[in-house]
Structure 1
């Protein structure tokens, strides 16, 4: 009873912004209890960010040397509660995001706060975190029925999303929830009726032997994603970013049979209609909407449009920002008659952003590219390689940028951001920023109209 009364009192006690109320209580260890289970129950009433931190404090306050506790044992716990900001950081329509991507596992750990502080110190202002990854795992505990049915949030690493958002907002950080859409290995495995059929024989279509994609045209699939969008927006994020909002591009694509006829309804109409529905959900909530696109989409090739289902003139009007993945390493050797595109980080960011800029400007959409902050195929990966991309993006008309490292390792990335924002970073000589001439003037940026 003492424990319950204290919890209620602590929870209801009025608190000013950033003011912490502390109340002491005593609890009795229940049958089957562990320190970690107790910490998870009490975490919402404490200022600790993780259950592990609360366990450490309980052990200190009770003089415990290990994790062993006994049924009926009394534990002294000082519960503290701080009023959360519980509101997004309002940004202007021309806000220049300078950010990084972090995994959901990292977002649910104390290291997230360390990274956030390092980002701000370097001159950054945005964090993109996984709210649903391509494996179909949610970063938080969802109440969406289908998510519960397939166990999408059963191991959610972000125990207290409100605390995470509060911690980032108090640092004036723009918080973006990255939502992987139609590549969803868990949903495909748990609901095979959502997977495209194989044209060549009985069974499901697979991408290189694995059924990881669900059919983007199915109403049940779209409704599931829209329910997550609504739920995540209500958590208090500032922006939702759609990734894999497209059709598959690998494997035997001719073998895939979807629930519509692409000869009658083009793939890009399916994708655009879905993004339109996401926009309708978010607009009254004041949450921004962005989407990731292939870097090569900036070149506007018709074959790419028919394959992936992204037609930018139709898609962009429904977005606040578009993020092309202009990683130099992902352009195949020989692209645009350039032997090794990966050797020209400035050039490909410049070209990609410029090609998108005219179309984006017509629809009042910000171009905010993803920057390669990893060493794949790069001969000498260092902060200069990253800053060259930042310069290329800025010179190409981008409004902000986002650094991608799949493991969320940003020592080199932060050095690049710092050098770029305070103008102390070294630069590559102009003539080395561009590929050798192949019968054309490659030093002259190409526009969409070229």
Structure 2
């Protein structure tokens, strides 16, 4: 059908002269054309709107939702799920729901952070939607979401190793885990969830981490202890070891299995280091004397079946104190309130005690401990690990701050133990007998030391107790009761720790002549307290072997 738009849609004025008959006959055709034109116009308008709406269709995307749609504890806490769009403006008015219930969102520039922190474990429908308008069509994005915040179940057994220098196996059990590591080493999960990991050396604390499929993790720590084997040793000074006359009788006791270790001085009360130490500060201040060859001495003792305990006299150190004061490092020295060097109530001398709170002093001892352990010393045994005796008000410790002397010194013990263990050595601390009941008198808190060391070596020499202590009228003349009663306090104080008690036994005469009976009395008293290890002290390095019974097994 041919349509003439000009005639029928826009008629000329001359059309008015057309006859009534002609107008009537054309009316249906004209109406059809007008209707068709209207429809075409509507199609054009609607098509344009639809085209515009298609161009402005929001394109929602989800970020931060892991593959599989599982969100773990970390994901919930971090609000890791975010909504983005090609045009950030399209996010205005968008609504996020979980199972039809709105959830909070936060506008972060060109994205929406979705807060799912209140959701419990389960499966949900997450929907992002936006209502349409004349110029914008509605849109929605739907995803399946599973919340899994339940971590695996993990148990780790405390472990006891045989040696600090060899491997140790840490065992545990896990349920619901995909993987387990112990100290970073992957474990094979066996039947029933059991696992075991062998570490090259025992750490003081082993940490296991179990991870499930959702990525939830759980950590568990286990204490790893290696108890110091039976220790029966005698003290030998650096110069004493260099003397054949003193060294040979000690080695004879070792070969006769009356002792199984030698305590050999690393740094003594004079501040002198017995061997040729390579610690920079020791060389700088002239402390390294080279009285003996450390490697040769250690080998000789080891070859005879014994172990070597290296004694480090800590804060009684005239060499370091004098050199520090002279060279302007006065904070390394314990001072009086007016800034002078502290002499001490026991008249050690004004430049005898170094400041335990000073960083350089602490590092000096950490370096010595590390060097000695690397050389092969089996133990590091601190002595004079204390403040000077006397009134605390009469002395000053630069750099101490608000920390108590007890905490500061215990902190160094903890640091040293870590260093010693890293190189396969045990750590012991020698303490005054009075420290068990009077920890603040010289800043030796036995309870704190017991948590930070492998053993405590109380110096419970009968000659050093005042009359009447522990109800003993004359302790020096009655070595058994004073030893038994004082050590019982140490056992009680350390009962719930892993620290052992290894006492110093007096094998010297001071006021009362000491021989085999007196030494034997102290050893028996310790044994009656359940203590079988000991260290004998004689500053002259001469010992009463008759008080020592051969051991069945030399360890």
Q: Given the two structures, how large is their TM-score scaled by the length of structure 1?
A: 0.68
Which of residues 110, 118, 128 in structure 1 aligns to 2:263? 128
Question: What's the CA shift string for 1:25-77, capped at 9, x where partnerless?
Answer: xxxxxxxxxxxxxxxxxxxxxxxxxxxxxxxxxxxxxxxxxxxxxxxxxxxxx
- 1:416 is aligned, of 534, 544, 547, to 547
1:99: Cα distance to partner? 1.2
**Does the aligned pair in 2 maintain the 1:366–1:399 contact within 8 Å?**
no
Q: State the structure with bigger RCO (CA 8 A, min sep 6), 1 or 2.
A: 1
Matched residue, 1:180: 313
Q: Which digits, 9 at most, give the CA deviation of each residue in 1:142-173, with x for residues without a partner?
A: 111111111001x3201x21111111001111
Alignment correspondent of 2:481: 347
Secondary structure in structure 1 of the residue aligned to 2:536 = strand
Give runs of aligned pairs for residues 277-316 of structure 1, distance below 5 A: 277-298=415-436, 300-301=437-438, 305-316=439-450
Note closer, same or farther for the CA distance 1:92–1:170 as it changes in structure 2 (3 Å cut). Answer: farther
Which residue of structure 2 lines up, in the alignment, with residue 50 of structure 1? none
Q: Which runs of 5+ in 1 are unaligned?
A: 1-86, 423-450
Query: Which residue of structure 1 lines up, in the alignment, with residue 414 of structure 2?
Result: 276
How big is each residue's C-alpha offset from its partner over 1:336-383, in whole Å with a ceiling of 9 and x where there is no partner?
4433111221112211222111333411221110000001121x4220
Range moving further from structure 2, 222-231 or 201-210: 201-210
Equivalent position of 2:73 in the other structure: none
* Partner-residue secondary structure (3-state), 1:258: coil
CA-to-partner distance for each residue in 1:394-440, whole Å, 9 max, x for gaps?
00121311110011011xx211113x869xxxxxxxxxxxxxxxxxx
For the aligned residues, what is the CA RMSD? 2.3
Distance 2:443 2:422 in 1: 27
Question: Higher strand proportion, which one?
Answer: 2
Question: After superposition, what is the alpha-carbon deviation per residue over 1:122-146, rounded to whole angstroms, capped at 9, x for unaligned?
Answer: 6211110110001110011111111
Task: Select the structure that is richer in helix.
Answer: 1
Residue 137 of structure 1 contacts residue 156 of structure 1 at CA under 8 Å; is this kept in 2? Answer: no
Unaligned runs of 5+ in 2: 1-163, 168-224
Match of 2:282 among 126, 147, 156: 147
Q: 1:397 aligns with which of 530, 536, 545?
A: 530
What SS is found at the alignment partner of 2:463?
helix
How many Å separate the matches in 1 of 2:505 and 2:373? 26
**C-alpha distance in structure 2 between counterparts of 1:170 and 1:278, whole Å:** 27
- Cα contact 2:228–2:454 (8 A) shared by 1: no
Alignment-derived partner of residue 122 in structure 2 = none
Give CA deviations for 1:202-238 in whole Å, capped at 9, x if unaligned: 5322223532001100001001111111111110111
- Give the 5 Å matches for 1:38-437: 93=227, 95-111=229-245, 112-121=247-256, 123-153=258-288, 155-158=289-292, 160-192=293-325, 193=330, 194-199=332-337, 201=338, 203-207=340-344, 208=347, 209-250=349-390, 253-260=392-399, 264-298=402-436, 300-301=437-438, 305-378=439-512, 380-410=513-543, 413-418=544-549
Matches within 5 A, 1:14-53: none
Secondary structure of the residue aligned to 1:223 is helix
Aligned residues: 323
The alpha-carbon deviation at position 387 of structure 1 amounts to 0.3
Q: After TM superposition, give the deviation of residue 198 of structure 1 in Å.
A: 1.9
Q: Scaled by the length of structure 2, what TM-score is found?
A: 0.55
Q: Is 114-123 or 174-183 further displaced after alignment?
A: 114-123
